[in-house]
Homo-oligomer: A and B are copies of this chain.
Amino acid sequence: MEPFVLDERLARDSESIMQLGLCDLRLSHDSRWPWLILVPQRRNVSEIFDLAPLDQAVLTFEQVTVAAALKTVTGATKINIAAIGNIVRQLHVHIVARSEGDPNWPGPIWGFGQSVPYERPAFELMKNRILEACQ
């Protein structure tokens, strides 16, 4: 069987922080808002309805787990969850912590402005806090 290959743009814009049962959990390099991305490790899947029913259920469980952890870590006003994929067609789910006063509040993050990379220690700190909250 051919292996799963991560989309190049997802690989460039984010970094894997944990392998879940179905998904690769990735932290975006964009520090403007704590931004996680779940990528189901399945080939040739663009839409949630392309996944097998059991994978859909597992994806829901992983989304809920990660979203609740992100809320705990950040104390965000609202967690935004979205599967868009108009540009990157490989199925991926954004889970983003939004807070009043963030750079595009209350508008969406997608397509807004330029990414602001973390300093490496800040990235590692966010990663470790999320991993701890997911346990």
Contacts and interface: CB of A to CB of B under 8 A. Distances in A.
| Chain A interface residue number, banded | 20 to 34
A71 B85 CA distance: 14
Contacts of A110: 107-108
A116 interface: no
A5 interface: no
Contacts of A83: 80-82
Interface of A: 46-49, 56-57, 59-61, 63-64, 67-68, 71, 77-87, 89, 98, 105-108, 110-111
Given A80-B83, A86-B106, 4 more contacts: A47-B71, A47-B78, A56-B61, A80-B84
